[in-house]
Structure 1
């Protein structure tokens, strides 16, 4: 079996690209990471944010593995290393708004299947020879974002016309949501919390008729209200990426975002998020 991969990442509106790519070809191990910066501003001596540090710590850890074992065990170890780094930086681990974090989607290709693990809102999609798309994961934050999106829509209805003003209406909800990380009814995220492993989603699929695996950070998600209702959302996203290629797809998405800079037509929290994808193809 031959495997090839295509990868691409692009910075959003932030100063740094807080996404990262894992590409450990010798171990057939690939992944995407989406850094989550603290709500309390933090930068180290290199002017790196907590989200940047978290994503790149996990990237370096996975790409340095000599003999990869269980992805779950490895993600636990990466989470422990992140906690150690925050302790060294005197971060108050009891205050979740101060924590550095990362969402993750990582796979390892084996002779008899593909092992995967995810936390946060990164996605793993399997695409088969008959073009069927199988989401292996779920956006763990979607149920918590819904109330914030409803407030955003209410703000628009009440005449707010700037992203900055709309963001002020939801900041309390965002802070509350941080305290639901790695809790029952909340969402999983890699943030040094010792409860994080309880919210990893992981498993293994076999290789029968498998054609592609697609790994995405949330910046690559096409606006839902721009997808025809009769289409399966993840099937639409997967086939647009495969048809166009990752970079052209990304540029088309950015054009759409640039046409709606205040996030009125397509509701989102920032004009353009960091965007990262890896596509693995089997031959």
Structure 2
């Protein structure tokens, strides 16, 4: 079996700020990467932000990685990012919070099954030809935690992170310092990585999403998993992206759906399994 690319879409959260998401697909591998928003100015890896740098490097590495079981591929990717960071680093980080990190979900075809591995909160949906929809990746526990944190800081103003230097940024930096973060980083570790194996067959369809796009299901309750896959099959990704942004611009103050940014980078990759 192989992956056939049907559509891909990636939107920056703000048109004036670079998109830190990446996605890609090759014959038997698909992936989405969500670079975590930088909490300080560029400089650690040169003039480019660390989130975009890490997402770019990881996506390029996966595009050329040797085929291997998903867990081995993830471990090799983590080591490669540590090596590339050692080469690219321009100075010592101000704190651990400045180290680039990202969420990642990769899906690999292996015989008659789909192997998934992930770090962080990217999400996937597998729609079988029977109509059954299987959730891939972590349930939105981390997004729930982020929502609660945003609520606790709402008095400082929500809707944007970049360019700020206040209690919101200091708190977010503190969360990056805590031990046990489950992310793709530059320290060579895959601690907390999770894995999943699901039966699949030609004709099944796969939707891989960063959390900015998965918000349609996980945060805004615009769809459940089955309804989202039905909408993708019926209309494609572009109308869903418009709906996503309409929900967010209609709540620009982030009061109905409490969140740090009015709109996050949002990426989706729609693949079909071919025989």
1:198 partner SS: coil
Counterpart CA distance in 2 for 1:90 and 1:255 is 40
Sort the Cα spacing of 1:135 and 1:102 in 2 relative to 1 into closer, same or farther, 3 A.
same
* Superimposed CA distance per residue, residues 176-204 of structure 1 (whole angstroms, 9 cap, x where no aligned partner): 321236x1xxx41001234x312111232
**1:243 — aligned with what?**
234
1:203 partner SS: strand
Sort the Cα spacing of 1:164 and 1:206 in 2 relative to 1 into closer, same or farther, 3 A.
closer
Unmatched segments (≥5 aa) in structure 1: none
**1:163 — aligned with what?**
159
Matched positions, count:
266
Unmatched segments (≥5 aa) in structure 2: none
Asked if the contact 2:160–2:262 (Cα under 8 Å) also holds between the matched residues in 1, the reply is: no
Matches within 5 A, 1:85-124: 85-88=84-87, 89-90=89-90, 92=92, 95-124=95-124
Sort the Cα spacing of 1:79 and 1:236 in 2 relative to 1 into closer, same or farther, 3 A.
same
Asked if the contact 2:55–2:102 (Cα under 8 Å) also holds between the matched residues in 1, the reply is: yes
Counterpart CA distance in 2 for 1:91 and 1:178 is 19
Matches within 5 A, 1:1-283: 3-5=3-5, 6-13=7-14, 15-25=17-27, 28-43=28-43, 47-65=47-65, 67-88=66-87, 89-90=89-90, 92=92, 95-138=95-138, 139=140, 141-152=142-153, 155=155, 163=159, 170-180=168-178, 183=180, 187-194=181-188, 196-207=189-200, 211-220=204-213, 221-222=215-216, 226-227=220-221, 233-282=224-273
Q: Which runs of 4+ in 1 moved over 6 A?
A: none
Say what the alpha-carbon RMSD is for the aligned residues.
2.9
Counterpart CA distance in 2 for 1:240 and 1:267 is 25
TM-score of the aligned structures, taking structure 2 as reference length: 0.83
TM-score of the aligned structures, taking structure 1 as reference length: 0.81
Asked if the contact 2:158–2:260 (Cα under 8 Å) also holds between the matched residues in 1, the reply is: no
Asked if the contact 1:18–1:35 (Cα under 8 Å) also holds between the matched residues in 2, the reply is: yes
Deviation, 1:162, is: 5.8
